[in-house]
Amino acid sequence: MVNGMVKSWNRFFNRSKGTAELNAPIKSTAFVSVDLELTGLDDKRDSIVSIGAVKMAGGKILLTESFYMLVNPKIAFCGPSVTIHGITPADVCSQEGIEKVLREFIDFCGSDVVVGHCVEIDLAFLGRETRKLTGKPFTNPFIDTLALYGWLTSRHYPIGCSSRACGNSSLYEIAKHFAIPATIAHNAIMDAYITAQLFQRFISELSNYGVKNVGDLLRIGNPSKGGIDSITSGEIYNF
């Protein structure tokens, strides 16, 4: 499924190459920072338990335009996932199933460019559920902040780092290096907000390298250049 999402990114880029959309300035583009909490990481058997998202206009975070819903996954929880995100079966037993929540989430996102950290994990779940619900894939273009981080660290020492490799690819550790408070662990709306702040820092840095349009940003943020393959074995990075 993950490889499928990367192929989807490549199809989007090839389809849009040379169009006004890719030439659009970053500062005038609509983005949406997204995070999911899950019952586990198996995109064939596990399910979504919450979705959080925050809109952005270019690098400006729109705090009044946010989305957060718990989801009844209708499957058993695994112990490690509850420990990480703190959502229990009792919290979601009276909540809506993914069908209704996903429709509202898709409406909220519109055609915005999705931003996430290790985004291919979340997109694997979104892609599966969207196909089941609509018969079509989740088609929004998407950017991985971990890929952006890798691109930047290959060119200079990031803010707050004493060496080129900070040694941890988790959202919270990278946020700390950029002086972004990260005090609430694995809550979808808070993680989406932290990711949005990180994205703000990155596009500011990227402008110094001449990265100013959406096409360049999508190319650099391709999740095949970050995400799962760059994560240290045993590191807990997303549920």
- Catalytically active residues, by annotation: 186
**What whole-number distance in Å separates Cα of residue 99 and Cα of residue 118?**
24
**What whole-number distance in Å separates Cα of residue 142 and Cα of residue 111?**
11
Residues 59, 203 contacting (CB under 8 angstroms): yes
Among residues 110, 116, 39, the alpha carbon closest in space to that of 70 is found at 39
Sheet with strand 60-70: strands edge to edge: 60-70, 48-57, 30-38, 113-116, 142-144
The residue written with tokens 């940003």 in the block is 217
Give the ranges where 167-213 is alpha helix by DSSP (H). Answer: 171-177, 188-207
Number of residues in the chain: 239
Task: Tell me how far CA of residue 161 lies from CA of 63, 136, 173, 175, 233, in angstroms.
Answer: 29, 42, 11, 11, 22
